[in-house]
Amino acid sequence: MKVERFEDSDVWKMARRLANMIYSLTRANTFSRDRGLVDQMRRASVSILSNIAEGFERGSNAELAQCLYFAKGSSGELRAQLHVALDQGFIAQEEFNAATELALSVSRQLGGLIKYLKQSKLPRKSMKGHP
């Protein structure tokens, strides 16, 4: 499969689902006590999406990989924030598990794509053969 736009990338689609999940979770009244955490969680989830998109719009594998590293870092940041939300009673264990698993899946896919890019000797015109 040839991926020419970031919107066609499986990892971007998964990150989009994660961002939507975070927005849904943080709309709950339980978060009204900590608007700062809501803002941080939303920013981290959007950062994942945005860095994937930015990387795809750049011209080289090295630039794409750098942006994917930033996205991976934001995924880790979001997972840490999910722990805080759980510890403070803002989300239930089931919500934590679902969001954390999706964030981990995004991180794994980003890691695989970074590894692929670092091993690739070809200049990038598209992500032919990689989701």
Nearest to 46 by CA among 58, 38, 56: 38
Q: Is residue 131 situated within a structural domain? A: no
Mean pLDDT of 108-116: 96
Note the pLDDT of residue 4: 80
What residue numbers bound the domain in which 85 lies? 6-119
Question: Are the C-beta atoms of 103 and 75 separated by less than 8 Å?
Answer: yes
| Residue 126 within any structural domain of the chain | no
Provide the CA 110 distance to its chain's centre, in angstroms: 8
Residue 114 lies in a domain: yes
Residue 108 DSSP class: H
Q: What is the CATH number of the domain that holds 79?
A: 1.20.1440.60
Residue 37 counted as domain residue: yes
pLDDT tens digits for 18-48?
999 999 999 999 998 899 999 999 999 999 9
Q: Helix-strand-coil percent breakdown of the chain, rounded to 5? A: 80, 0, 20
User: pLDDT value at position 128?
Assistant: 46
- When pLDDT is cut at 50, 70 and 90, the band that residue 59 belongs to is confident
pTM above 0.95, yes or no: no
- Lookup: tokens for 110: 């980003």
CA 15/CA 53 separation, integer angstroms: 11
